[in-house]
Structure 1
């Protein structure tokens, strides 16, 4: 295994692939570099002396500048490096894309749920949605009733642990409480026996719908409309208080914009028009049960891979993200695009510094100009409140080698592969064109994942270097570890270990094919992701204030 890596021939820094001690001699391009300090794995060091203001290049692009003299072989840190990135401008030239060889995949299919509008789902869910936070309690009442009644309830192992501790306490046995060590739990995906063709009922509680701006409630309705229109959804039950900004009429108008011929069942219950809360909830449960009977008649059928729409997401990134998991996911995206499928790359603050590459990859000038317009508006909004994209990296990112936003962004963009950009979507816009789509979202993991699914992703590839349990209520979220140590430490949340790229066991292309194989199995319901098994149903709408 190599101990360091130059990612791009233009780079003037190297990445440590393992912990390197001070005094270690590195041979690079025929020159000896003696490390003047300890370089932890994932961190970087320059191959030549740098002076204040000198550019730092990674992935072939500007990612920072030196703020003080840095001798070659010294660690790069937030103390001696500041964020810097290239400016971007109008589209230049036309992209010439070299497609990957997908001949072995052209006849492959997955088993999906075919909808009348031509979309194909990877799951078959029923939704229960409040239009305003006032209805969250009522949604949770319905949730408890259905999950227990239909067998969708999560594992009760933790309840059993509390019962054990209570019994010890009743006996006055504090020593047993102190020494209590439950057995390791092996989670399994629970299915009901009443409606075998329904994967579950999902409940999208949130804190919006009223009390904020009308723009926020309109955006919430547009996002919820995307979930109702989504191919993984058979229908929905809507709870409305009645007086809130997010009106039923606005929601249904948003749904009709997505599909003028929309004909899925949507059951609406408005509390201020009901004789009592009990009556409303009882009717909602009864009518939803009747709708489940109809939804259970839908069965999986073969579908071409072109009907897959994958979200490309990352969270808890580290210094290996842009070397292993992200480029591997990028290869998977390229393969799917070559097969006529669709992918969605989001997190606009994490595209800082690579905008020009993406602009030049846009198929049309109109598409590139829309991307420029949205990116500049987002950055200006952040700056207007004293923030900026440069503040995006989290303490965990920085600790593991992502010390500037441009370093993080250059690696994050690798999830988008090399294919042309066919469309640019603002928040809550739904995918219309196959190929690589850019979707405006913040870098916040859950806000971004929620948005990708709301824009049509029927499965999400989520890379992580530090470990995050993020999931989604209606779309399988495949979690990919950037390093083997993480995969071994957190096996209950990780689905795929791409750290074998770092160790040299697999190439990026080989791992990309393995990921696509897993995607096909997951889309077919043959395997369930760890996030699904744990029922990690994260959902956070983006209030269009500043969120990075």
Structure 2
């Protein structure tokens, strides 16, 4: 029978409700009886003992909050009776006992079918990328996208065009639109086959930067765009520039060459203020891109070791089950990949609040530990200077579904990184070069974080969610992992993997972790297509290094 409650760690003094609990319901856990004093929705917690003001609350074996006034055993934890609290952290030399790697016998010798680039890096996709140096070129990108997507077979909007045409026909015929069901308005859609079968897509990095802000913003944007141009999932690039903006065209080209002195992908650049007209600019960009697409269509997938994968791990729309099902399962998959010689990127620094000491103790190099501390403290202080802080990170949706303090959210989020040693700490846009678990400085904001992970070299991103988040990335396939059955069933159009079976007691974390890695291998090989890719969820938001939680 499915358990009703769970104690995550032996030191915890709260129990997590795995299903809705009624007021006065009798719960027996580990031989101790609890009478629930109020309704406890699934994903929320209740206290295992009477608590006094300023008593410490523990989850995941660490401090996550302090009680604000006396509460009774069996009472529900909420934002009134519990406030965020964490232990201080400090530099300590590598202090992890010998890491016990998981059993990888099922994956020994396994390969995936990737695109091998000239420098030995391997992409999980083969994209052409359009980059604007400044927001003034967004409109030209939109025009080019509209021109190319339908013609070359990359559009996913056909079904909505058919839907709109059905509405128009019904309107012209004088029908009452309110009387028509959505099913009545749906029509079969012919999906055009891609012209360039080995080109997975043409992607566009529309953004709001490049000019108008401080020069440092333009400089960081240049590094970000250069990282995307150099990404192993990108085979060719078209850059559109206005001409007068802060981020100059040549500066971006120089950034690309600085990042990779041997950069040899097709690269076409256009500056509008030097062109004869907007029309000539757009036509020339389309023509040259057609030439480039023919060139990169010659690339084909090849069998390569799993160690060539770089996996980003992310959570968004988190709930009270995130740290119990999806995140630990992704963490186990991360440990499997590390044991097989791959790279894993754990980011979202505001969502490592309270987990810092554990990560510091697991960091091999003292220099990397100190870098992590410096980045975390600078980030936290920048938030506090404007009257905010990491403690304000949980969203209303997070709180409604059981994440009462940032420390609870963060310690659950950190589970995505598994248990392996930390090999490196990277600032925003820095490339991961070391095999193993890397920490990457990004905001917790879903799109800013996935944008940053791709810049550091993630070739796949595992994105866990308990509430449902339709986030993707233009060049890095994003795989959605649900924490619970209800979400997986209700939003099946965006979810790829469901870890709800862990909550139901049907599968172990280890079993789910192996399933997740197996899916990653198939996605990396192009054998399955994640929903975010199918829906062209190409979200891209550069971080300006301001306060973003």
TM-score interval, smaller chain: over 0.9
2: CA distance, partners of 1:368 / 1:395: 33
- 1:471 matched residue in structure 2: 472
- 2:258 matched residue in structure 1: 257
- 2:41 matched residue in structure 1: 40
2: CA distance, partners of 1:146 / 1:359: 48
- 2:423 matched residue in structure 1: 422
How far residue 29 of structure 1 moved from its aligned partner, in angstroms, is: 3.5
Alpha carbons of structure 1 residues 121 and 382: separation in structure 2 relative to 1, 3 Å: same
Alpha carbons of structure 1 residues 188 and 170: separation in structure 2 relative to 1, 3 Å: closer
1:263-318: CA deviation from partner (whole Å, max 9, x where unpaired): 11211000011111111111111111111111011100001000000110000000
2: CA distance, partners of 1:438 / 1:38: 39
- 1:123 matched residue in structure 2: 125
- 2:438 matched residue in structure 1: 437
**Higher mean displacement: 249-258 or 460-469:** 249-258
How far residue 172 of structure 1 moved from its aligned partner, in angstroms, is: 2.4
- 1:142 matched residue in structure 2: 144
Given that 2:163 and 2:186 are in contact with CA atoms closer than 8 Å, whether structure 1 keeps it comes out as no
How far residue 432 of structure 1 moved from its aligned partner, in angstroms, is: 1.2
What TM-score do you get using the length of structure 1 for normalisation? 0.98
Given that 1:191 and 1:199 are in contact with CA atoms closer than 8 Å, whether structure 2 keeps it comes out as no
- 2:22 matched residue in structure 1: 21
- 1:411 matched residue in structure 2: 412
1: CA distance, partners of 2:506 / 2:339: 26
Given that 1:188 and 1:533 are in contact with CA atoms closer than 8 Å, whether structure 2 keeps it comes out as no
1: CA distance, partners of 2:7 / 2:86: 19
How far residue 117 of structure 1 moved from its aligned partner, in angstroms, is: 1.1
1:54-113: CA deviation from partner (whole Å, max 9, x where unpaired): 000000000000001111100000011000011100124432211011122120000000
* Partner residue of 1:168 out of 170, 177, 185: 170
Secondary structure, counterpart of 1:182 in structure 2: helix
How far residue 148 of structure 1 moved from its aligned partner, in angstroms, is: 1.8
1: CA distance, partners of 2:273 / 2:294: 28
How far residue 30 of structure 1 moved from its aligned partner, in angstroms, is: 2.8
Given that 1:362 and 1:421 are in contact with CA atoms closer than 8 Å, whether structure 2 keeps it comes out as yes
2: CA distance, partners of 1:273 / 1:22: 72
1: CA distance, partners of 2:3 / 2:538: 39
1: CA distance, partners of 2:137 / 2:398: 37
1: CA distance, partners of 2:94 / 2:142: 54
Query: 1:57 and 2:58 equivalent?
Result: yes
1: CA distance, partners of 2:407 / 2:234: 37
Unaligned runs of 5+ residues in structure 1 are none
2: CA distance, partners of 1:438 / 1:446: 17
Secondary structure, counterpart of 1:415 in structure 2: helix
- 1:364 matched residue in structure 2: 365
2: CA distance, partners of 1:156 / 1:129: 25
Alpha carbons of structure 1 residues 186 and 363: separation in structure 2 relative to 1, 3 Å: farther
Alpha carbons of structure 1 residues 224 and 42: separation in structure 2 relative to 1, 3 Å: same
Given that 2:158 and 2:189 are in contact with CA atoms closer than 8 Å, whether structure 1 keeps it comes out as no
- 1:283 matched residue in structure 2: 284
1: CA distance, partners of 2:440 / 2:472: 19
Given that 1:473 and 1:539 are in contact with CA atoms closer than 8 Å, whether structure 2 keeps it comes out as yes
How far residue 398 of structure 1 moved from its aligned partner, in angstroms, is: 0.1
1:345-364: CA deviation from partner (whole Å, max 9, x where unpaired): 01000000010000000011
Secondary structure, counterpart of 1:225 in structure 2: helix
Secondary structure, counterpart of 1:205 in structure 2: coil
1: CA distance, partners of 2:191 / 2:239: 25
Alpha carbons of structure 1 residues 409 and 18: separation in structure 2 relative to 1, 3 Å: same
1:134-156: CA deviation from partner (whole Å, max 9, x where unpaired): 00000111111111221112231
1: CA distance, partners of 2:313 / 2:81: 32
Given that 2:482 and 2:500 are in contact with CA atoms closer than 8 Å, whether structure 1 keeps it comes out as yes
1:363-413: CA deviation from partner (whole Å, max 9, x where unpaired): 110010000000000000000111100010000000000010000001000
Correspondences of 1:393-542 after superposition (within 5 Å): 393-542=394-543
2: CA distance, partners of 1:365 / 1:73: 44
1: CA distance, partners of 2:44 / 2:194: 51
Given that 2:442 and 2:452 are in contact with CA atoms closer than 8 Å, whether structure 1 keeps it comes out as yes
Q: When the two structures are aligned, how many residues end up with a matched partner?
A: 547
1: CA distance, partners of 2:17 / 2:475: 39
Given that 1:332 and 1:516 are in contact with CA atoms closer than 8 Å, whether structure 2 keeps it comes out as yes
- 1:311 matched residue in structure 2: 312
Unaligned runs of 5+ residues in structure 2 are none
